[in-house]
Structure 1
């Protein structure tokens, strides 16, 4: 089945997810990260995917958004008005997002950028001084898109996957690189 084939005559829309969609979103996340299996240490990526699919654990701290295209969820992201609720190291006043995932059959349609833009708009609305995000260097397309959106590398917030996922570094570790987008606060 073509994920982009219309079920209804609907445009792509970003909306808050419903708890009843957690299983569907979790499956989308697994599919989105599957192509990276050969790019990262196996244990680090397995735990990252498991952590990313744990939507219930972040439901009350962030806003899980989905991009619905023709009646199907094709992308997701979790937005945090306070990035400190997402994890290590962000300063007070930063907003953030995590687990930006687009189904592999729905890539190259601008869905990722639309979700990033929504998170930036939300951060401005919430009065954040900056948006902070983490990614992996092997996610080259995502990193390039963040840079085109105005994010700049911010190594002082880099962390290792083992420190956030709690595994032995000797199993293979991955540097999780940080980006920051300063916002104009009026």
Structure 2
């Protein structure tokens, strides 16, 4: 049987989001969280935060994964002391709001984005990469474990009743 994809290579580029992409990135993030069942459609607190990619780009580093011109994933990189850190201590780089377009799930986009965060951490001399992940995000937890992250249960956090955020960390080897 012939494979119609032979010879077709889709390259994913990880780069900073462009200002013209902020609305797209915000909607992609919200769509991914909604499709995964990680946030309710009527959530008036966090859904607007997920959609506000411009704020993330202004106060942290907003990265996207793109196939050609199509944005298919995003992650926010927050350095210790920045407004978007929740868990980071001195020496820690934190990432937040990792999101992959539902139609690109399983394509390695999340792995590529986390890999870029790890590359940044190594090149900038950070000691650890840390993150919080909602307890419902089992697929993401599996990715983090496969990439070497371990749970840090003593840092778990419940920002509002019914929302349990699990802490993960990875020591950067130099």
TM-score, normalised by the number of residues in structure 1:
0.80
Distance 1:137 1:61, change over 3 A: same
SS at match of 1:59: helix
Residues 43 and 67 (structure 1), Cα distance of their counterparts in 2 relative to 1, 3 Å cut: closer
Q: Residue in 2 aligned with 1:105?
A: 103
Structure 1 residues 156, 83: closer, same or farther in 2, change over 3 A?
A: farther
Check 1:100–1:116 CA distance in 2 against 1; reply closer, same or farther (3 A cut).
same
Which residue is 2:35 aligned to? 35
Q: Name 1:53's counterpart in structure 2.
A: 51
Gaps of 5+ in 2: 1-8
Structure number with higher strand proportion:
2
1:84–1:92 contact (8 Å) kept in structure 2? no
Structure with the bigger percentage of helix: 1
With CA pairs under 8 Å and 6+ residues apart, which has the higher RCO, 1 or 2?
Answer: 1
Map 1:42-81; keep pairs closer than 5 Å: 42=40, 47-81=45-79
1:131-150 correspondence runs (5 A) = 131-150=129-148
Q: Secondary structure at the match of 2:35?
A: helix
Alignment equivalent of 1:177, drawn from 166, 171, 174: 166
Which 4+ residue blocks in structure 1 deviate beyond 3 angstroms?
Answer: 42-46
Between 142-151 and 47-56, the greater mean CA deviation after superposition: 47-56
Check whether the contact 2:79–2:85 (CA below 8 A) recurs between aligned residues: no
Unaligned stretches of 5+ residues in structure 1: 1-8, 163-168
- Provide the alpha-carbon RMSD of the alignment: 2.2
Partner of 2:3: none
Count matched residues: 166
